[in-house]
Amino acid sequence: MNGMAVKLVQTANAFVDAASANIVKQHDPAISDPYLRQLVASHIDEDGFCRYLIGRDMAENARALREAHKDDFFSVPMDNSLEVAAEIMGREESDSTESSEAALAFICKWLHLNYAKLTDEEKKWLARIAEKSDLLKNPNPQRGRKRK
């Protein structure tokens, strides 16, 4: 494709050159003529065009991969983060005053688990597992103090 793209760019540039030469021959415009300057500026940079084509193809491939794997287990859910945070903060205020329960509710939301349907035993196990997370060890680090 690269060779074909370069050939197409060269052909387009040749048409621009031919049109420019024809206009100069017939009308003898001044070098500052805006139409002549537009023709000169319309030359396509071969490298830039190839980079554009490659980038476009990569973006299409990335979009297709993202779409094909959007429901995979390890994919990040496409939930609206503001809605999730508002829901969890509302649950924290109404259901519990402990921030650890809010963190567990957030984990459940991310994993598409219904926190309310978990048994007390399951909630205890989830809390014990979450304690091993570096993210939950000190959710409010203080500036200048070392994390434990």
**Domain limits of the chain?**
2-68, 81-137
Q: Kindly state the average pLDDT of the residues 52-77.
A: 84
Question: How large is the average pLDDT for residues 71-75?
Answer: 71
Please name the residue ranges forming H helices in 44-139.
46-68, 81-95, 99-110, 120-130, 134-137
What are the CA-CA distances from residue 108 to residues 52, 118, 141 (Å)? 42, 10, 23
State how far Cα 4 lies from the chain centre: 30
Non-local (6+) Cβ contacts of 108 within 8 A are: 114, 115, 118, 126
**Tokens found for residue 11:** 């052909």
Contact indicator for 136, 130 with CB cutoff of 8 Å: yes
103 within 8 A of 133, measured Cβ to Cβ = no
Q: Would you state the pLDDT for residue 85?
A: 63
Reported pTM:
0.40
Using one digit for the tens of pLDDT, what is the confidence trace for 80-139?
A: 555 666 665 565 444 444 567 777 777 888 788 888 888 989 888 888 888 787 766 554
Written as six digits, the tokens of 121 are 């035993």
